[in-house]
């Protein structure tokens, strides 16, 4: 270690006062200053006028010494409150003292008082000086005891200023010193009474605190350290109450009640302290603690016995407690506590006491012998010898030089036999130790000899030897003898404790009342279980830790020097033993390198090879925290291939960039890194730390040729562990061998993996392309993907090309059936991300990844996920998703490459099957449509009813579009030539809305149907709310389609369908084709209706004409018959001939009219034929007679044969 480092450690180990120590110093200084001020006021009180009674701060006469003081004899009574002195009102205690100072001894004053029953009276008395015996009893005696208490507290603090018990005890002594030194001020001068009332409760609080930390800290304070201050809560509350009541002259007697709480707390604290000492004496396992508790109990018994016995007697015999005889004994209590604290110091007070006795006896003996010799010589020779005669002094000093040392040794041995009966001959023990060490050859035998020696000479309760372990680069504990310590720490060579013991070669003693140096307390927490003992350096090797002696005696200075000598002799034996250890370690390193080198030729699994490397490395180095991280040059990331944490093999799937951490730095630079502080090294290099960094960290590159394939690392989370250059060289050699092993294993594994993948892909490709049935293809893809990557579950998700939704088409694994048909919105979860990015995703911890859709984990726990897109023609048609490899290892990039290749073939197979299915479905749909059209044609052609045709057309349109709202309208023209639409068939509309168009037509300028008729183009409005021409007719309508009905180039009507769902173009196309087929039937029905109306008009006309003609012919027929009958006289032949001709024509006309009526009968199907004989000549004659006039007019002849 260099000079600057040593200086730094010396500065670290230099004692520093804690905050508690400064608080104690402040309390002691305050006490000293306060006592000086109290002495000044006491001196003033001694020479000033005295009222003859003691008065409390509430101006109440307290009754102390009421049988002696003159004020009581003058008439003042106990519990009276002074309210005035002569004409001076007294409102505060300081006012009383200030008023008294205006008088002189011998003056007569009138004291006005108020009794507890509120009655008032005045008492006249003469002022005097304070009696001397009263001044001695109430000032000099308590003040002197207070100074003793303060001196004890200061002394203990100076010797043990960094010990908690000494600090608390010093504060207790200061508080008791104040309570004793301010008694006279409390009763007479009233200047410092607020300080006095605070001392009693705080003294009780400090005693409670002391009971919890001395002679041994209470065990529960380890869990709740703040409990040591619990007593101060009650003390401060009582202090606060007393401060409020101490000058409350309006309720002066309440002060006594609050003061009782302070006395009660102090009494309880004292009893608790003594009870704690009794418990420690009876049940503590430490002889030191028992001895300290016993000393305190004996001292307390002697200190409080006079007061306790007097107090008990006073309860039965009316006698006052003699303060001057009882109070001085109280000083033994702090003296016993101080002795208990200071006794078990390294210099051993008992030994100091024995040496003091020896030198005191020698001094008195020398002086007495000198004067006795002078007297005897003078008596024998009859001369007078002077004691200061130079000759006599010279002779006596010469005799002392010769005789004093043997006499001192013998006297010391005699005193030691009385005071130190258990002293052993340490020189004999050391001689036996040295002789036995010559026969020791190894560390175990050295430890056995050390155990016997310590047991023979010191009998420690615990003994530990710390020796340097090169494997861990730390000082490791070796328990000597039968010690049993549960937790022992190890120390680095640069720890403060190692530096203190080995470089400075200074021993350390610690124990109750003598803590370790503050700078070493943190490192030595594990030694609290020992209680007390010694740290003995073993130069260049380590140190010993000895617990307290089983006989309870503390270690003396002689013990310390002997043990340090033992440590020096132990060094030689340990160095010899280490030669054997170093030789064994070198042989182990060679054997490790041999085994690792031979592993290159092993045909083993990669994980088994890494396990071999780890196991062999652990024979030389501490591999409790060890990992091998492999580098992925494609992704520029690192991942754990082998990971051990605190000696446990873990399977971590962490992956991080080479830009992070020292591992990445090794990959980038190809150089090993060893550091004592991982985080500081990262800061020094300007890189970001990562992972779970150890304190000490060593990593070496795994070089395969000119490539770095990974990093091998060991680390320690113990702050003091350091790695040496020698360890780095060995670790680098292991790393080179490990790199060759891993590279060969990787190449072999890649070759096997590629062969297996090609075989699997060929097999899978043949299987999935062996069929064109889409459902079968999808099932094969999922089953083969799960089989290919040995996954626990898998699913195939296809993208709905219309909505973009993600649809689970096929699933396999636990509870997979519940997922089939589940639809997810676009972009949802992992599959949504894969579809959007068209890139594969590997998730090693699904539960911590926000992209995982956890609603799918109802019956299955997902750990790792791999999802790859199936891309066809530049777009993602779906995703293959696999969950949880069966071997529990997360999916990796090799799985990604294999599944991506598989997904490419799967996408082609799906597209082929889909095209086949779509073609087949389209053909089936087309056939079904043609069949439907044939049916529609049959139904339409089966009738010529115009309205029936319209209704059938609308019903088929609604059925095909799966809607319930629609209409069919015909294009009509009114008398003014204005065109419009007349609703001929409708469904789902409100009748009131339809009724308004019964008498009028729908304007072509209105609505989507009007626009379709005007443009002649079919339209599909998917969102009617966005179309300004849409006329709402029914609530909840979302979309509308309208198709014109054409006949040749002429629009004759329109079909409109409305839906509460979004309709598609297929529906529009179907309705359009339906309109084409229906147009002919509609036109035929329309024409048929027109013809039918014309026939009806003709029939009506014929019926009318027949009726109108038949009436005059009947009259004509009647009159002709009358004329021919001779009713008008005899007719000539010519007249008769004319009348016959007329009658024949009337008959023929009637026949013609009957023929018209027969036409209507034929149309209605009511014609009846009458079958009878007809005269042909008569018929011919009638026909000729009808046209005879025309023939004759034309001078023609008609010949009949």
Write the pLDDT tens digit of every residue in 1023-1069. 988 888 888 888 888 899 998 988 777 888 888 899 988 888 888 88
Q: Which residues of 48-65 are buried (b: 16+ CB within 10 A; e: fewer)?
A: bbbbbbbbbbbbbbbbbb
**Which CATH code is given to the segment(s) 926-1095?**
3.30.450.40
Q: Out of 104-108, 173-177, 844-848, 1014-1018, which region has the weakest mean confidence (pLDDT)?
A: 844-848
Q: Could you tell me the pLDDT band of residue 10, with boundaries at 50, 70 and 90?
A: very low
The confidence score (pLDDT) of residue 30 equals: 92
Taking residues 834-844, report their average pLDDT: 87
- For residue range 274-329, what is the model confidence (pLDDT) as tens digits? 898 888 888 776 666 777 788 888 888 888 777 777 767 766 666 565 667 777 88
| Pairwise CA distance, residues 479 & 461, whole Å | 12
The confidence score (pLDDT) of residue 7 equals: 43
| Pairwise CA distance, residues 993 & 985, whole Å | 14
Higher-pLDDT residue of 112, 574: 112
Closest C-alpha among 60, 54, 68 to residue 113: 60
Q: Could you tell me the pLDDT band of residue 347, with boundaries at 50, 70 and 90?
A: very low
The top-scoring range by mean pLDDT among 171-175, 220-224, 1078-1082 is 171-175
The confidence score (pLDDT) of residue 516 equals: 67
Domain 602-740 in CATH 1.10.10.10: no
Closest C-alpha among 532, 516, 203 to residue 343: 532
> Has this prediction a pTM greater than 0.85?
no
If you count DSSP H runs as helices and E runs as strands, how many of each does the chain have, helices first? Answer: 34, 28
Closest C-alpha among 57, 55, 58 to residue 66: 55
Higher-pLDDT residue of 578, 144: 144
Look at residue 80 and tell me whether its pLDDT is greater than 80: yes
Q: CATH topology for 769-910?
A: Beta-Lactamase (3.30.450)
Taking residues 132-141, report their average pLDDT: 85
Is the fold of 426-581 the same as that of 926-1095?
yes
Taking residues 693-711, report their average pLDDT: 84
Look at residue 77 and tell me whether its pLDDT is greater than 60: yes
Taking residues 461-477, report their average pLDDT: 80
Q: Could you tell me the pLDDT band of residue 1084, with boundaries at 50, 70 and 90?
A: low
Q: Could you tell me the pLDDT band of residue 569, with boundaries at 50, 70 and 90?
A: confident
Query: Percent of the chain beyond pLDDT 70?
Result: 79
Look at residue 882 and tell me whether its pLDDT is greater than 60: yes
- For residue range 189-224, what is the model confidence (pLDDT) as tens digits? 888 888 988 888 898 889 888 888 887 777 777 678
CA distances from 361 to 143, 348, 750 (A): 35, 20, 95
Q: Could you tell me the pLDDT band of residue 588, with boundaries at 50, 70 and 90?
A: confident
Q: CATH topology for 49-128?
A: Pdz3 Domain (2.30.42)
CA 78-81-84 angle, 5° bins: 130
Look at residue 667 and tell me whether its pLDDT is greater than 80: yes
- For residue range 33-73, what is the model confidence (pLDDT) as tens digits? 999 999 998 888 888 898 888 888 888 888 787 778 888 88
Q: Where are the domains of the chain?
A: 49-128, 284-343, 349-414, 426-581, 602-740, 769-910, 926-1095, 1099-1193
β-pairing, 626-632 vs 637-645, is: antiparallel
| Pairwise CA distance, residues 989 & 12, whole Å | 97
The confidence score (pLDDT) of residue 174 equals: 92
β-pairing, 841-843 vs 823-824, is: unpaired
Q: What is the mean pLDDT of the chain?
A: 78
Closest C-alpha among 207, 197, 174, 179 to residue 30: 174
| Pairwise CA distance, residues 70 & 126, whole Å | 9
Q: Could you tell me the pLDDT band of residue 542, with boundaries at 50, 70 and 90?
A: confident
Within 8 A by CB and 6+ apart from 1006, the residues are 1029, 1031
Taking residues 642-647, report their average pLDDT: 86
Taking residues 481-507, report their average pLDDT: 72
The confidence score (pLDDT) of residue 722 equals: 75
Identify the H or E element spanning 785.
Answer: helix 774-789
Query: Percent of the chain beyond pLDDT 90?
Result: 3
| Pairwise CA distance, residues 559 & 539, whole Å | 18
The confidence score (pLDDT) of residue 720 equals: 57
Q: Out of 137-146, 264-273, 767-776, which region has the weakest mean confidence (pLDDT)?
A: 767-776
CA distances from 850 to 819, 824, 896, 937, 1029 (A): 20, 16, 21, 59, 47
Please state which of the four CATH numbers 3.30.450.40, 3.10.180.10, 3.40.50.300, 3.40.228.10 is assigned to the domain occupying 426-581. Answer: 3.30.450.40
- For residue range 224-273, what is the model confidence (pLDDT) as tens digits? 878 888 888 888 888 888 888 887 777 777 777 778 888 888 888 888 98
Higher-pLDDT residue of 172, 1154: 172
CA-based end-to-end distance of the chain: 168
The confidence score (pLDDT) of residue 1090 equals: 65
Look at residue 888 and tell me whether its pLDDT is greater than 70: yes
| Cβ atoms < 10 Å from Cβ of 924 | 10
Q: Out of 592-601, 805-814, 910-919, which region has the weakest mean confidence (pLDDT)?
A: 592-601
Look at residue 173 and tell me whether its pLDDT is greater than 90: yes
DSSP per-residue codes, 340-391: HHHHTSTT-HHHHHHHHHHHHHHHHHHHHHHHHHHHHHHHHHT----TT-HH
């Amino acid at each position: 270690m260099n000079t600057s480092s040593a200086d730094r450690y010396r500065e670290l180990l230099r004692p520093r006062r804690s905050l508690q120590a400064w608080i104690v110093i402040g309390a002691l200084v305050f006490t000293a200053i306060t006592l000086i001020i109290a002495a000044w006021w006491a001196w003033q009180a001694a020479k000033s006028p005295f009222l003859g009674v003691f008065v409390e701060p509430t101006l109440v006469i307290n009754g102390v010494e009421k049988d002696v003081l003159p004020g009581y004899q003058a008439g003042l009574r106990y519990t009276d409150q002074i309210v005035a002195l002569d004409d001076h009102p007294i409102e505060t205690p300081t006012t009383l003292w200030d008023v008294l100072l205006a008088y002189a001894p011998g003056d007569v004053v009138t004291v006005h008082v108020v009794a507890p029953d509120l009655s008032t009276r005045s008492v006249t008395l003469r002022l005097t000086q304070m009696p001397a015996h009263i001044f001695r009893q109430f000032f000099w005696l308590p003040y002197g005891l207070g100074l003793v208490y303060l001196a004890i507290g200061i002394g203990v603090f100076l010797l043990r200023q960094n010990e908690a018990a000494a600090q608390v005890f010093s504060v207790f002594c200061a508080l008791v010193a104040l309570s004793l030194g301010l008694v006279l001020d409390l009763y007479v001068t009233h200047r410092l009474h607020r300080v006095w009332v605070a001392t009693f409760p705080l003294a009780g609080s400090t005693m409670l605190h002391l009971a919890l930390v001395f002679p041994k800290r209470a065990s529960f304070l380890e869990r709740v350290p703040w409990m040591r201050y619990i007593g101060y809560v009650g003390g401060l509350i009582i202090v606060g109450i007393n401060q409020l009541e101490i000058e409350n002259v309006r309720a002066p007697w309440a002060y006594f009640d609050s003061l009782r709480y302070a006395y009660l707390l102090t009494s309880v604290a004292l009893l608790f302290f003594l009870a704690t000492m009794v418990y420690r004496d009876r049940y503590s396992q430490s002889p030191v603690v028992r001895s300290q508790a016993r000393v305190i109990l004996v001292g307390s018994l002697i200190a409080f016995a006079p007061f306790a016995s007097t107090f008990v007697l006073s309860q039965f015999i009316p006698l006052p407690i003699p303060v001057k005889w009882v109070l001085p004994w109280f000083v033994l209590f702090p003296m016993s506590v101080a002795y208990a604290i200071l006794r078990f110091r390294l210099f051993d007070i008992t030994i100091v006491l024995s040496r003091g006795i020896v030198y005191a006896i020698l001094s008195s003996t020398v002086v007495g012998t000198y004067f006795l010799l002078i007297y005897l010589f003078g008596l024998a020779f009859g001369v007078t010898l002077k004691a200061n005669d130079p000759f006599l002094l010279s002779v006596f000093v010469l005799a002392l030089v010769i005789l004093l040392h043997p006499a001192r040794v013998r006297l010391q041995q005699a005193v030691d036999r009385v005071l130190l009966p258990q002293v052993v001959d340490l020189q004999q023990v050391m001689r036996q130790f040295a002789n036995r060490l010559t026969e020791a050859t190894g560390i175990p035998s050295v430890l056995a000899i050390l155990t016997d020696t310590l047991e023979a000479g010191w009998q420690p309760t615990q003994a530990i030897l710390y020796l340097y372990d090169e494997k861990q680069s730390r000082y490791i504990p070796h328990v000597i003898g039968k010690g049993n310590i549960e937790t022992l720490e190890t120390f680095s060579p640069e720890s403060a404790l190692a530096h203190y013991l080995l470089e400075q070669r200074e021993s350390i003693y610690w124990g109750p009342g003598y803590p370790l140096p503050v700078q070493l307390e943190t490192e030595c927490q594990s030694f609290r279980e020992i209680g007390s003992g010694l740290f003995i350096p073993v130069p260049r090797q380590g140190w010993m830790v000895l617990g307290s002696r089983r006989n309870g005696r503390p270690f003396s200075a002689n013990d310390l020097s002997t043990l340090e000598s033992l440590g020096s002799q132990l060094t030689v034996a340990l160095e010899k033993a280490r030669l054997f250890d170093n030789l064994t370690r070198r042989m182990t390193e060679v054997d490790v390198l041999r085994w690792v080198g031979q592993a290159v030729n092993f045909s083993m699994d990669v994980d088994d090879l890494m396990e071999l490397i780890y196991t062999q490395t652990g024979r030389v180095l501490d591999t409790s925290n060890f990992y091998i991280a492999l580098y992925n040059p494609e992704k520029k990331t690192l991942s754990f291939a082998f990971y051990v944490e605190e000696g446990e093999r873990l399977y971590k799937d962490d992956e991080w960039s080479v830009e992070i951490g020292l591992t990445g730095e090794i990959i980038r630079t190809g150089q090993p890194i060893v550091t004592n502080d991982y985080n500081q090294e990262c800061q020094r290099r300007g890189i970001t730390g990562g992972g779970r960094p150890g304190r000490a960290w060593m990593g070496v590159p795994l070089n395969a040729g000119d490539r770095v394939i990974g990093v091998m690392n060991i680390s320690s989370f113990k702050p003091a562990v350091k790695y040496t250059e020698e360890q780095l060289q060995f670790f680098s050699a292991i790393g080179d061998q490990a790199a060759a092993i891993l590279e060969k294993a990787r190449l072999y594994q890649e070759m096997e993996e590629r062969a297996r993948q090609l075989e699997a892909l060929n097999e899978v490709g043949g299987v999935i392309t062996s069929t064109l049935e889409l459902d079968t293809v999808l099932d094969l893809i999922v089953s083969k993907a799960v089989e290919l990557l040995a996954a626990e579950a898998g699913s195939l998700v296809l993208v709905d090309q219309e909505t973009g939704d993600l649809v689970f088409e096929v699933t396999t694994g636990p509870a997979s059936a519940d997922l089939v048909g589940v639809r997810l919105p676009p972009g949802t979860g992992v599959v949504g991300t894969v579809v959007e990015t068209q890139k594969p995703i590997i998730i090693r911890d699904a539960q911590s990844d926000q992209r995982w859709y956890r609603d799918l984990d109802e019956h299955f726990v997902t750990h790792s996920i791999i999802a790859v897109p199936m891309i066809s023609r530049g777009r993602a048609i779906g995703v293959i998703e696999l969950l949880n490899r069966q071997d529990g290892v997360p999916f990796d990039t090799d799985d990604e490459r294999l599944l991506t290749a598989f997904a490419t073939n799967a996408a082609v197979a799906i597209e082929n099957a889909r095209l086949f299915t779509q073609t087949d479905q389209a053909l089936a749909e087309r056939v079904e449509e043609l069949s439907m059209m044939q049916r529609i044609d049959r139904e339409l052609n089966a009738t010529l009813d115009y309205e029936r045709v319209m209704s059938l057309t609308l019903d088929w349109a609604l059925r095909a579009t799966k809607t319930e709202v629609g209409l069919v309208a015909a294009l009509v023209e009114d008398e003014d030539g204005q065109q419009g639409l007349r609703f001929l068939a409708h469904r789902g509309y409100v009748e009131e809305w339809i009724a308004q168009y019964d008498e009028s037509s729908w304007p072509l300028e209105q609505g989507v149907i009007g626009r379709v008729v005007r443009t002649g183009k079919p339209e599909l409005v998917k969102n009617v709310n966005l179309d300004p021409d849409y006329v709402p007719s029914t609530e909840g309508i979302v979309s509308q389609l309208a198709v014109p009905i054409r006949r040749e180039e002429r629009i004759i009507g329109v079909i409109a369908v409305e839906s509460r769902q979004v309709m598609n173009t297929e529906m529009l196309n179907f309705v359009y084709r339906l309109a084409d087929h229906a147009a002919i039937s509609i036109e035929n029905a329309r024409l048929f209706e027109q013809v039918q109306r014309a026939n009806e008009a003709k029939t009506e006309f014929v019926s009318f004409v027949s009726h109108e003609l038949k009436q005059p012919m009947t009259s004509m027929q009647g009159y002709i018959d009358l004329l021919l009958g001779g009713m008008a006289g005899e007719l000539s032949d010519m007249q008769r001939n004319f009348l016959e001709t007329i009658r024949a024509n009337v008959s023929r006309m009637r026949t013609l009219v009957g023929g018209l009526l027969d036409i209507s009968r034929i149309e209605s199907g009511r014609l009846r034929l009458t079958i009878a004989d007809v005269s042909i000549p008569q018929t011919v004659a009638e026909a000729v007679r009808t046209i005879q006039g025309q023939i004759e007019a034309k001078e023609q002849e008609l010949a009949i044969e």
